[in-house]
Amino acid sequence: MSSASRVGTGSVDLLGLDEATWRPHALHAADRTWVETNCYIDVWTELLPALGHPPEAALPFTVRQDFEGDHFTFFKYPLEDLQALFGLSVQELAIYDSVEAHTLEQLGRGHPVLIEVDSHWLPDAGPTYRKGHVKTTVAAVAIDPAARRFGYFHNTGFHTLQGADYDGLFQPPGAPGMFPYCEFVKRDGPGLTDEALTRASLGLLKHHLALRPKANPVAAWRAALPQHLEKLAARDMDYFHLYAFNLPRQLGANFEMLGSYVFWLAERGVPGLSDVMTACRRIAEGAKAVQFQLARMANRRKFDAARLELEPIEKDYAVVLSVLAGRFG
């Protein structure tokens, strides 16, 4: 039987943010091809600037995305990169009491807490709010157990919830010992800035380029598509949405983020990157176009791999990686 219990007193507001005045980071601007990427990237993209750090500096790892046979790499900020650039030590949070109690304790120590939660209880979750059940990650920065109020980063912004949503979010796990995965963020130092940050970021780019895929992952996806389309033809639209999230969306969003990183480098005086920025933008837009093509096929139940425009994306991938490897690898 779980020993989790309701926290009775105390509240913490780590950053003093206001949902009404919070503005998303430029990486979540409404005019981007992929406004949302995945829950882990999105939450850090908002948390990092709230802690005083530019998230673009930590994006060199995007050169490593690969085709994994049934999905594109679910890209995430490497924790060691966050430590090297920003002095942030991300540790797994041992959960043995209520998540609420541990969150209150860590926020009281000045540590944001990343929690895997059910989006069913998140008012910002759109169509899944109070309807579906989808795992996602939030970054807790404020909690008031007495008022049953919670402040957190999720997707493209800062949000608050309270009342019944608070109770649902922090209810004890359904099975003894089945606690969610949580992390807490210790701020070990001020982090790098200015030229030191740019140099360190370029060093990480060189490191990640050495670990880039040995073969073109877009070509590998194109080769696997006939089998993928057979599965899509046999499954319902719910499966299609999962497929679209894990393949065209992860590919397109990853390279839009890489393009933003290259733009960040150009702003800091690194020359000769315009072709890379253009190719990254085309990959992002091309992946969105392929997603639309797949959606039309799924709706009509007529699938044809030859009609999917992947060859231009494959060529742009080769441009991006060859230029970056030649310059920094």
pLDDT given at position 175: 63
What band does 9 get if pLDDT is binned at 50, 70 and 90? low
Residue 7 pLDDT greater than 70, yes or no: no
Query: Crossing angle, helix 250-267 and helix 194-209, to 10 degrees?
Result: 140
pLDDT given at position 5: 38
Residue 3 pLDDT greater than 60, yes or no: no
Q: Are 288 and 309 in contact (CB under 8 A)?
A: no
Query: Which SS3 state, helix, strand or coil, does residue 159 take?
Result: strand
Cα–Cα distance measured from residue 243 to residue 245, given in angstroms and rounded to the nearest whole number: 5
Nearby residues of 267 by Cβ (< 8 Å), 6 or more positions away: none
Domains and their CATH numbers in the chain: 12-187 (3.90.70), 194-328 (no CATH)
Model pTM score: 0.94
Distance (Å) of CA 194 to CA 45, 49, 89, 265, 328: 19, 15, 21, 12, 19
Quick: pLDDT tens for 185-244.
999 989 999 999 999 999 999 999 999 999 999 999 999 999 999 999 999 999 999 999
Q: Which tokens hold the place of 106?
A: 């860590």
Q: Cβ-count burial of 251 within 10 angstroms (0-12 exposed, 13-18 middle, 19+ buried)?
A: buried
